[in-house]
């Protein structure tokens, strides 16, 4: 039951974007479409889970003085793997996400979970924590991207829902990210109180 609690905590109660307000750089930067949000979310989830596994396994070997730099090296290794795989197999998504992929290294969601959870818990718990936080992050980015894409261009995952000339360009641009995020946070907080 504890593993399920670790999983659901990141997805619902402590969603990194809607509740903890972490990882705002990729949240606002890449969510102009649902596919971009999903791609960034899944890339971050992979890095988060793998980094949690390795940090949990080597936590007793790393001296306290070099703990954070060691975590960053571990995270950077998995980000490099994601970047190379995405560049090789998903070049359009890689091109679209651009600079935000290497920025996963310093994403406070990933480093924060490595420090706050994986370095203090066993491998299995760390996997579930990483999955919960990562999928919660993916859900938030995908939802934000879907709303922005739908309102801005009349599409959803690239499929036309209504004519593009009825879309509002504001929502595809940077200010639209702030507006939609603000409304989604308000809705999530209202639903959590109910």
pLDDT digits (tens, 9 = 90+) for 133-169: 999 999 999 999 999 999 998 999 989 888 888 888 8
Q: What is the mean pLDDT of residues 110-115?
A: 90
Over the chain, what is the mean pLDDT?
A: 89
Give residue limits of the domains in the chain. 2-193
**Contacts for 153-157: CB closer than 8 Å, 24+ residues apart:** 155/33, 156/34, 157/33, 157/34, 157/35
pLDDT for res 3? 67
Q: Please tell me whether the overall predicted TM-score, pTM, comes out greater than 0.85 for this model.
A: yes
Q: Classify residue 155 by its DSSP letter.
A: E
- pLDDT at position 127 is 94
Residue 1: pLDDT over 80:
no
Instruction: Read off the pLDDT of residues 4-34 as tens digits, 9 standing for 90 and up.
Output: 666 677 777 788 888 888 888 888 888 889 9
């Amino acid at each position: 039951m504890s593993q399920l609690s670790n999983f659901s905590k990141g997805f619902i109660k402590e969603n990194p974007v809607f509740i903890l307000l972490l990882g705002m750089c990729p949240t606002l930067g890449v969510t102009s479409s649902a596919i971009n949000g999903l791609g960034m979310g899944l890339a971050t989830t992979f890095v988060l889970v793998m980094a949690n596994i390795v940090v949990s396994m080597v936590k007793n070997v790393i001296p306290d003085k070099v703990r954070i730099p060691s975590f960053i090296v571990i995270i950077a290794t998995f980000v490099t793997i994601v970047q190379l795989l995405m560049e090789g197999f998903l070049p359009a998504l890689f091109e679209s996400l651009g600079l935000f992929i290497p920025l996963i290294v310093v994403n406070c969601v990933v480093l924060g979970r490595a420090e706050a959870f994986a370095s203090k818990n066993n491998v299995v718990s760390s996997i579930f924590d990483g999955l919960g936080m990562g999928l919660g992050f993916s859900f938030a980015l995908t939802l934000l991207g879907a709303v922005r894409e739908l309102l801005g261009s009349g599409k959803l995952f690239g499929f036309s829902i209504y004519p593009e000339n009825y879309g509002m360009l504001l929502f595809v641009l940077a200010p639209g990210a702030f507006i939609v995020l603000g409304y989604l946070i308000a809705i999530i907080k209202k639903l959590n109180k109910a």
